[in-house]
Amino acid sequence: MSSLSLAIIFYFFKLALLLVIFAITIPLGLLKDFRKRQLKALFFNDLLVLVVEGYLEFLICGYLNLQDYLLFDQNTFTERLSLLLSLFCLSTATILPILMILLLAVCPVDFFSKPFFDSHFTVLTEGVKKKSKATLSYFLMFMVRRLLYATIAFSLSSFPCLQVIGLLLTTMLMQIYQGMYSPRELRELNRIELFNEYFVFLVSMQLYLFFNSYMDN
């Protein structure tokens, strides 16, 4: 079972448990501050954590389930449920970056420091400098990179050399972004991010060693 599956199970378990607690405490007027904090976390921080952390899994699982449904004539309940889940995964993974782009384009920088945004959407700017829209774009870059990765993986499956070039270009762009803006609040995290991107680039370069047969043909 993947970490994303465990996280989803935990989320719905937490949701069911909170419903029971709310049903008991609301008539008695107890735990008002606790209920308020949990509602802010559920809508929408906890959901955003699932989507952002499992973004690539959302894309891959959604695409594969949708392809399986379209290729095979299956009308069982489980297959229809699988179709709905795949559509949910793909639509969520597609809409979230668009919403983030709109927020960055329309809202001023200080909007992302307001209590309302911090209480409901803080996951989108957690640990990131809020001094400019470039630094606030860190998680947007995070999602767009994975969206490009999934697109390259599935659309260029017959051209592995182009896949590697695409992977190297996206890694290089992230290196440039990290080096120019240092978006994380902690200096150590910025160094770790650059170190990580550098070694991803070096490891990816080794994939060219496996393309002799393609180059010969």
Per-residue pLDDT tens over the stretch 175-191: 999 999 999 999 999 99
CA nearest 45: which of 123, 134, 112, 150?
A: 123
CA nearest 1: which of 61, 70, 77?
A: 61
Per-residue pLDDT tens over the stretch 9-55: 777 788 888 888 888 888 888 888 888 877 777 777 777 887 887 88
Helix, strand, or coil (residue 83): helix
40 vs 55: CA distance, rounded Å: 22
Mean pLDDT (the chain, rounded) = 83
Per-residue pLDDT tens over the stretch 74-128: 667 777 777 777 787 788 888 889 999 999 999 999 999 888 888 778 888 989 9
Helix, strand, or coil (residue 13): helix
Pair 18, 38: CB distance under 8 Å: yes
Q: What is the pTM of this model?
A: 0.80
Per-residue pLDDT tens over the stretch 135-160: 999 999 999 999 999 899 888 888 88
* Buried/exposed 144-174: b ≥16 CB within 10 Å, e otherwise: bbbbebbebbeeeeeeeeebbbbbbebbeeb
